[in-house]
Structure 1
Amino acid sequence: MKVPLSGRLFTFGLITCWYSSNIGVLLLNKYLLSNYGFRYPIFLTLCHMLACSLLSYIAISWLKVVPLQTAVGATTPFFTAVFAYLMTLKREGWLTYITLVPVVTGVMIASGGEPSFHLFGFLMCVGATAARALKTVLQGVLLSSEAEKLNSMNLLMYMAPVAVAFLLPAAIIMEEDVVGITIALARDDSKILWLLIFNSALAYFVNLTNFLVTKHTSALTLQVLGNAKGAVAVVISILIFRNPVSVTGMLGYTLTVIGVILYSEAKKRSK
């Protein structure tokens, strides 16, 4: 079925907003963690989730952007969608899976060609990617259920506090006295406070547009777009921070972009 032009433009706009905010957060994270020397990634992520919790609550409960959906009722689409998936076992076309090969291969080549490559960091990235993929699939079924579906703002409002509950003890244990250190830094240089606030607000828009892109495309499409976004972010990072890059790394990023283009064509044909 052919998608109307207005629908395609809307989806393209969502993807553009997601890319812009996502790459902005990545670059700010790199600046804070590497250039500025604020080496507390767990606390930084905690700030992101706190902002998501607060801004989602304000948008729903105060500004009434979307109706509030109760937590108990919100579990209905999850179980409905999961059971429906288990019974129907929906799969993508074989051509779609083939086009994912250059995407994954390109990322692996690019990682191996990274001048600051570290095996443990690479394994952690793989684990994070798998967890992100699971999150994407779950949010996809929650947002697209034929039953009592959640909207993206409500899903973010319920998800973010759960993330805070996990991140808070982790930050306290693994990044000792990070709150005191941050306060001391803010007293010496107020710029760090504004950077954290702006970075956290931007993270809210990343998560919100992430949910919206999932709703209007698919979980698999989101992951492929995420890989392409990584390649774009690397290029921008090189231009801004003058990071060294190898021929192998550039080959990997090029292969990833080619895979994304092939994937897009395969999805068009499947429709």
Structure 2
Amino acid sequence: MCHMTACSLLSYIAIAWMKMVPMQTIRSRVQFFKISALSLVFCVSVVFGNISLRFLPVSFNQAVGATTPFFTAVFAYLMTLEREAWLTCLTLVPVVAGVIIASGGEPSFNLFGFIMCISATAARALKTVLQGILLSSEGEKLNSMNLLLYMAPMAVVFLRPATLIMEENVVGITLALARDDIKIIWYLLFNSALAYFVNLTNFLVTKHTSALTLQVLGNAKGAVAVVVSILIFRNPVSVTGMLGYTLTVFGVILYSEAKKRSK
């Protein structure tokens, strides 16, 4: 909710005050519904993803998240009839297979956490396809900054109930932490501002490449997060799990090469 509040404020400052891009208006109820749906799907992906982290280690969470390109390809076909080249689709097989292998060899596997993680991954893929439609469809096209301007406040509204239900007295806890160490306020402010630039570049990449490419690029971050999380949290990883992680990363590399050839 802090992230989306920062995105709302910074988007308004950039568009209304700094005039970085012309302000666009929502032209129809259908367009408003699509932006609302995008915000809701985004919130579902965030909430479910955070829930899964209570039951699964970060390394396994990131490995499951690497299947996002698979879900993105499915949703892109169902919603826009956009087909990837057969070679590109073939490279998604090791991405998914790697996660299946990693699941079987994960010492800290939790079924509920896994379901939440898969649901968050599917929601993240659906969000990417929806934002691609809003950024490129004729008649309803919004630029990246305006889409974030309208999406972020809606996300704040959707996240408010989740915050109150799942994190009771969160404001009091934050103030108590701030009394012990004021730096946490600066951490929150910096983290929230950074989220604005993450979301903005996310939209820009989607606009200039494709929804599927964005998700595969994100897997490079996921591979690094797997290694770093194992080093920091020292969670146990089996040989089978590492084999699955490696296969998933290998699939991401193959996908990148397939996209180059298809172009």
- Flag whether TM exceeds 0.5 (same fold): yes
Give the Cα–Cα distance (whole angstroms) in 1 for the partners of residues 79 and 146 of structure 2: 27
1:2-40 per-position Cα deviation (integer Å, ceiling 9, x unaligned): xxxxxxxxxxxxxxxxxxxxxxxxxxxxxxxxxxxxxxx
Contact 1:48 1:203 survives alignment (8 Å): yes
> Which runs of structure 2 are paired with 1:1-271 in the superposition (5 Å)?
46-72=1-27, 89-271=81-263
RMSD: 2.5
1:172-205 per-position Cα deviation (integer Å, ceiling 9, x unaligned): 1221111111112112221221111111111111
Give the Cα–Cα distance (whole angstroms) in 2 for the partners of residues 225 and 181 of structure 1: 36
Contact 1:227 1:256 survives alignment (8 Å): no
Secondary structure of residue in 2 paired with 1:71:
coil
The aligned counterpart of 1:3 is none
Structure 1 residue runs of 5 or longer lacking an equivalent are 1-45, 80-84
Secondary structure of residue in 1 paired with 2:27:
helix
Contact 2:26 2:32 survives alignment (8 Å): no
Give the Cα–Cα distance (whole angstroms) in 2 for the partners of residues 103 and 160 of structure 1: 31
Q: Number of matched residues?
A: 221
Contact 1:139 1:211 survives alignment (8 Å): yes
Distance 1:106 1:194, change over 3 A: same
Contact 2:6 2:193 survives alignment (8 Å): yes
Aligned letter for 2:170? V
Give the Cα–Cα distance (whole angstroms) in 2 for the partners of residues 216 and 260 of structure 1: 20
Give the Cα–Cα distance (whole angstroms) in 2 for the partners of residues 125 and 86 of structure 1: 22
Give the Cα–Cα distance (whole angstroms) in 1 for the partners of residues 166 and 32 of structure 2: 36
Secondary structure of residue in 1 paired with 2:82:
coil
Q: Between the two proteins, what is the percent identity of the paired residues? A: 82
Q: CA deviation at 1:77?
A: 11
Q: CA deviation at 1:156?
A: 0.9
Contact 1:103 1:224 survives alignment (8 Å): no
Q: CA deviation at 1:72?
A: 2.5
Aligned letter for 1:71? I
Contact 1:107 1:227 survives alignment (8 Å): no
- TM-score normalized by structure 2? 0.75
1:235-269 per-position Cα deviation (integer Å, ceiling 9, x unaligned): 23334555443322321221112111211222222
Give the Cα–Cα distance (whole angstroms) in 2 for the partners of residues 87 and 184 of structure 1: 47
Give the Cα–Cα distance (whole angstroms) in 2 for the partners of residues 114 and 63 of structure 1: 50
* Comparing 201-210 and 227-236, the one that deviates more: 227-236
Give the Cα–Cα distance (whole angstroms) in 2 for the partners of residues 167 and 71 of structure 1: 22
The aligned counterpart of 1:38 is none
Structure 2 residue runs of 5 or longer lacking an equivalent are 35-76
1:46-94 per-position Cα deviation (integer Å, ceiling 9, x unaligned): 1111111111111111111111111226966998xxxxx8897231122
Give the Cα–Cα distance (whole angstroms) in 2 for the partners of residues 148 and 203 of structure 1: 25
Aligned letter for 1:264? S
Contact 1:50 1:160 survives alignment (8 Å): yes
Aligned letter for 1:128? A
Aligned letter for 1:110? A
